[in-house]
């Protein structure tokens, strides 16, 4: 076993090409083995194995800085940089992160998880290096999907201007999570055709020169003419960045040879490597979309595992039906078709569906444009990724009170993706925006009711729901709920739990059959149901939410009570002021004290000791 002998990238330097190739296969097996158990980003990491070995063979991490955009393709990097013995803890509570993480290893140049950050990071590092008179290489590996992000394209523009020495490796597997989109993506495809043309041309040349030099001359002139037709300005040259490629991203020998050469060059260089997402694992090669991030599987019999009916699917089913009722409906996703439950909708309503690529800012402002011209756009977007479009929500949507609905998926703790992905800031960053309303349905029926009503109401409305399963609602069901009104689910004589969104189930569990404790489905945060709040102010109140405590639902309740001049005893349960790492969602909720146990604890501290525990 070669991997046994590799404890740092230094150990790659002495390996033969055959040993490196054997190492690649051992790494693939380990990635499959652990992802089968833990879940994780299988296809992306399988596709980047040779590239990562070649980079660590040629460059000297951690002295040289190797950055991985998103960091989800970096499992091979983790295995050869001293973490092979902990790799089995990938994405587990207390285990190693599923992305690169500065605090996890000196070899992790950036903490990643959100796309398109590597190039600006690399630029900053190159600037620091040169200002301090230091001498090391800065290498950024970015996927074709991540390159659709505005941050990445804007960074290229600056990199080309400043001409700092750095290497950008474009890992082009023609995939984002779904098929990749964008004009650059089309151009890369054409470049690959051109590569094929070059190879065919070489072969043709050899044959022709032997048969007839005259004929060869004629063909040669024809080829020049064809080149003129095919020849387009390579955008990277326009950006002032040397372009090399495309090259086979699985050919270790060629990669090492080229990287050695590029290492010596001054200024910014982009090496375009072509890889296969899921390389070396048939099912992942055949379906890189499902195997982008499988939840776990039997490595011997890798079948797709159903994750059950999710909130995302409930959303997708609802908008697919709504599109028949509302011809102005238009749904946008920033590169998360599958994750947002939009496969069915995209197939049934392709003319009113758009995947903008990994650019949430463009998603929101495109929705604004649609709304300005009479459409009813819904932006389907993860809470964590909506952070990328905060200004657009204010500047392009809310100021003009445009009818844009934000279907905020993955709201709350999301589990194995960890701190970079928990959707625990959206209430705080949205609720201060005038005109924008915020709601959280308790089930799929309320989700349908809210989506339909939101389209009718107009104005910016955010509807947040968790990464979780949910009971399917009947097709065609469009219940009415009083907009802005909370719902008492259980009466109480001494206290009420005001639960927002997913924590409602914990509230009902904590209240149990205790007659003293009532439970409210506080499904509207903005507008808050002040009428009911006033009525409940004579009880003790406990708010609970799957969100940072600071600036969340509880804060909104406190502010409203203050404005109403009411001073009941209030406790707020939410996530404390720190980041939460990766781990199972229930465990993280327990840690945060927002589950049933945490609620009981808070009630006890408010004098409502559970009846069966009373002495
Ligand atoms: C800002 C942001 N939006 C969306 C995502 C979700 N996401 C994770 S990986 C990915 C696709 C990345 O494609 P690419 O860079 O080509 O890498 P590949 O998976 O193909 O190796 C997306 C959209 C993200 N991580 N960050
Ligand atoms: C790397 C990335 O950002 C996505 O792949 C993300 O991990 C998807 O999250 P879900 O699994 O919740 O769809
Ligand atoms: Mg890709």
> Going by CA atoms, what residue is nearest to atom 2 of ligand 2?
113
177 lines ligand 1 (CB under 6 A): yes
Contact (Cβ atoms closer than 8 angstroms) between residue 49 and residue 280: yes
Q: Is the pLDDT of residue 227 over 60?
A: no
pLDDT at 215: 65
pLDDT at 231: 47
pLDDT at 199: 67
Burial class (CB in 10 A: 0-12, 13-18, 19+), 374: exposed
Q: Which tokens sit at 370?
A: 């649609």
> Beta strand 517-521 with 487-490: parallel, antiparallel or unpaired?
antiparallel
- Which of these is catalytic: 337, 352, 388, 467? 388
pLDDT at 611: 74
Greatest pairwise CA separation for the chain in angstroms? 106
Q: Which residues of 584-597 are buried (b: 16+ CB within 10 A; e: fewer)?
A: ebeebbebbbbbbe
Mean pLDDT of the chain: 95
Q: To the nearest whole percent, how much of the chain has pLDDT over 70?
A: 93
How many degrees, rounded to 5, is the angle at CA 310 between CA 305 and CA 316? 115
Sign of the torsion formed by the C-alpha atoms of 392, 396, 400 and 405: negative
Tens of pLDDT, residues 104-144:
999 999 999 999 999 999 999 999 999 999 999 999 999 99
Q: Hey, which residues does 269 pair with through a beta bridge?
A: 167, 242
Q: Hey, which residues does 408 pair with through a beta bridge?
A: 381, 464
| Known binding-site residue numbers | 72, 113-115, 144-146, 173, 281, 360
Tens of pLDDT, residues 425-453:
999 999 999 999 999 999 999 999 999 99
| Residue 472 phi, psi (nearest 5) | -60, 140
358 lines ligand 1 (CB under 6 A): yes
From the CA of 298, how far away is ligand 2's center (Å)? Answer: 21
How many degrees, rounded to 5, is the angle at CA 315 between CA 339 and CA 406? 85
From the CA of 402, how far away is ligand 1's center (Å)? Answer: 29
Which amino acids bring their CB within 6 angstroms of ligand 2?
41, 70, 72, 177, 293, 339, 410, 414, 417, 467
Residue 235 or residue 177, greater confidence: 177
pLDDT at 190: 82
Cα distance between residue 255 and residue 177, in whole Å? 25
Cα distance between residue 99 and residue 180, in whole Å? 21
- Which of these is catalytic: 360, 431, 446, 490? 360
> Going by CA atoms, what residue is nearest to atom 16 of ligand 1?
145
Contact (Cβ atoms closer than 8 angstroms) between residue 28 and residue 46: yes
pLDDT at 223: 62
Tens of pLDDT, residues 242-274:
999 999 999 999 999 999 999 999 999 999 999
Q: Is position 277 annotated as part of the catalytic site?
A: yes
Tens of pLDDT, residues 377-408:
999 999 999 999 999 999 999 999 999 999 99
> Going by CA atoms, what residue is nearest to atom 5 of ligand 2?
293
From the CA of 525, how far away is ligand 1's center (Å)? Answer: 31
Q: How many helices (H) and strands (E) does the chain have?
A: 23, 17
Question: For residue 326, what is the enclosing H or E element?
Answer: none
Q: Taking residues 452-458, what's their average pLDDT? A: 97
| Residue 463 phi, psi (nearest 5) | -115, 115
Confidence band for 349, pLDDT divided at 50, 70 and 90: very high
pLDDT at 281: 98
For the chain, the distance separating the N- and C-terminal CA atoms, rounded to the nearest angstrom, is 63
Residue to substitute in 417, 465, 468 for testing ligand 2 pocket (most ligand atoms within 8 angstroms of CB): 417
Q: Which tokens sit at 420?
A: 């970079």
Q: Which tokens sit at 373?
A: 């011209």
Tens of pLDDT, residues 144-187:
999 999 999 999 999 999 999 999 999 999 999 999 999 999 98
Q: Is the pLDDT of residue 481 over 90?
A: yes
- Which of these is catalytic: 78, 277, 376, 526? 277
What pTM does this model have?
A: 0.95
Which bound ligand lies closest to the C-alpha atom of 47?
A: 1
Interface confidence, given as ipTM, is: 0.99
Q: Taking residues 34-49, what's their average pLDDT? A: 98
Q: Taking residues 343-371, what's their average pLDDT? A: 98
Which numbered atom of ligand 2 lies nearest the CA of 415? 12
pLDDT at 228: 47
Q: Is position 360 annotated as part of the catalytic site?
A: yes
Contact (Cβ atoms closer than 8 angstroms) between residue 256 and residue 263: no
From the CA of 25, how far away is ligand 1's center (Å)? Answer: 25
467 lines ligand 1 (CB under 6 A): no
């Amino acid at each position: 076993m070669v991997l046994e002998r590799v404890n740092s990238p230094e150990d790659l330097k002495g390996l033969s090409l055959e040993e490196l190739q054997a190492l690649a296969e051992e790494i693939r097996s380990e990635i499959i083995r652990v992802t089968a158990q833990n879940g994780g980003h299988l296809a992306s990491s399988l596709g980047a194995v040779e590239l990562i070995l070649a980079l660590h063979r040629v460059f000297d991490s951690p002295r040289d800085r190797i950055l991985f955009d998103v960091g989800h393709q970096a499992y091979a990097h983790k295995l050869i940089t001293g973490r092979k013995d902990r790799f089995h803890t990938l994405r587990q509570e207390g285990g190693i992160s599923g992305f690169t993480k500065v605090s996890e290893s000196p070899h992790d140049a950036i903490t990643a998880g959100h796309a398109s950050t590597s190039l600006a990071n690399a630029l900053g590092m190159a600037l620091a290096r040169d200002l301090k008179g230091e001498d090391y290489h800065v290498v950024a590996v970015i996927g074709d999907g991540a390159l659709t992000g505005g941050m990445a394209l804007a960074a290229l523009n600056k990199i080309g201007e400043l001409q700092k020495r750095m290497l950008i490796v474009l890992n082009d597997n023609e995939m984002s999570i779904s098929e990749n989109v964008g004009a650059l993506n089309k151009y890369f495809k054409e470049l690959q055709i051109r590569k094929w043309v070059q190879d065919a041309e070489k072969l043709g040349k050899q044959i022709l020169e032997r048969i007839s030099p005259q004929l060869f001359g004629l063909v040669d002139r024809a080829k020049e003419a064809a080149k003129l037709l095919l020849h387009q300005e390579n955008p990277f040259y326009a950006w002032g960045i040397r372009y090399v490629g495309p090259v086979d991203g699985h050919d270790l020998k060629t990669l090492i040879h080229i990287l050695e050469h590029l290492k010596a060059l001054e200024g910014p260089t982009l090496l375009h490597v072509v890889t296969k997402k899921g390389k070396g694992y048939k099912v992942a090669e055949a379906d890189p979309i499902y195997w982008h991030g499988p939840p776990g599987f039997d490595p011997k019999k890798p079948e797709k595992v159903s994750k059950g009916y999710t909130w995302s699917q409930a959303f997708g089913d609802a908008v697919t039906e709504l599109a028949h009722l509302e011809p102005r409906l238009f749904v946008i996703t920033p590169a998360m078709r599958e994750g947002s439950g939009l496969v069915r909708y995209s197939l049934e309503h392709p003319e009113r569906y758009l995947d903008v690529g990994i650019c949430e800012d463009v998603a929101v402002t495109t929705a604004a444009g649609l709304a300005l011209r009479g459409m009813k756009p819904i932006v389907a977007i993860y809470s964590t990724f909506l952070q990328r479009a905060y200004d657009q929500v204010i500047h392009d949507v809310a100021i003009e009170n445009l009818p844009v609905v934000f279907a905020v998926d993955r709201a709350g703790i999301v589990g194995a993706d960890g701190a970079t992905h928990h959707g625990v800031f959206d209430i705080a960053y949205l609720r201060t925006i005038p005109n924008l309303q915020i709601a959280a349905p308790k089930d799929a029926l309320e989700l349908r009711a809210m989506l339909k009503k939101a389209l009718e109401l107009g104005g910016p409305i955010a509807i947040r729901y968790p990464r979780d399963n949910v009971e399917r609602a009947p097709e065609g069901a469009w219940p009415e709920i009083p907009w802005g009104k909370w719902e008492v689910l259980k009466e109480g004589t001494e206290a009420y739990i005001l639960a927002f969104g997913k924590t409602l189930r914990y509230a009902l569990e904590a209240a149990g059959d205790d007659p003293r404790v009532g439970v409210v489905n506080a499904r509207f945060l903005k507008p808050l149901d002040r009428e009911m709040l006033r009525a409940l102010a004579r009880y003790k109140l406990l708010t609970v939410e799957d969100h940072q405590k600071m600036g969340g639902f509880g804060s909104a309740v406190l502010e409203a009570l203050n404005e109403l001049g009411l001073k009941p005893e209030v406790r707020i349960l939410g996530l404390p002021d720190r980041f939460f790492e990766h781990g199972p969602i229930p465990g993280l909720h327990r840690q945060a004290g927002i589950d049933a146990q945490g609620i009981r604890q808070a009630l006890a501290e408010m004098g409502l000791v559970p009846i069966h525990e009373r002495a």
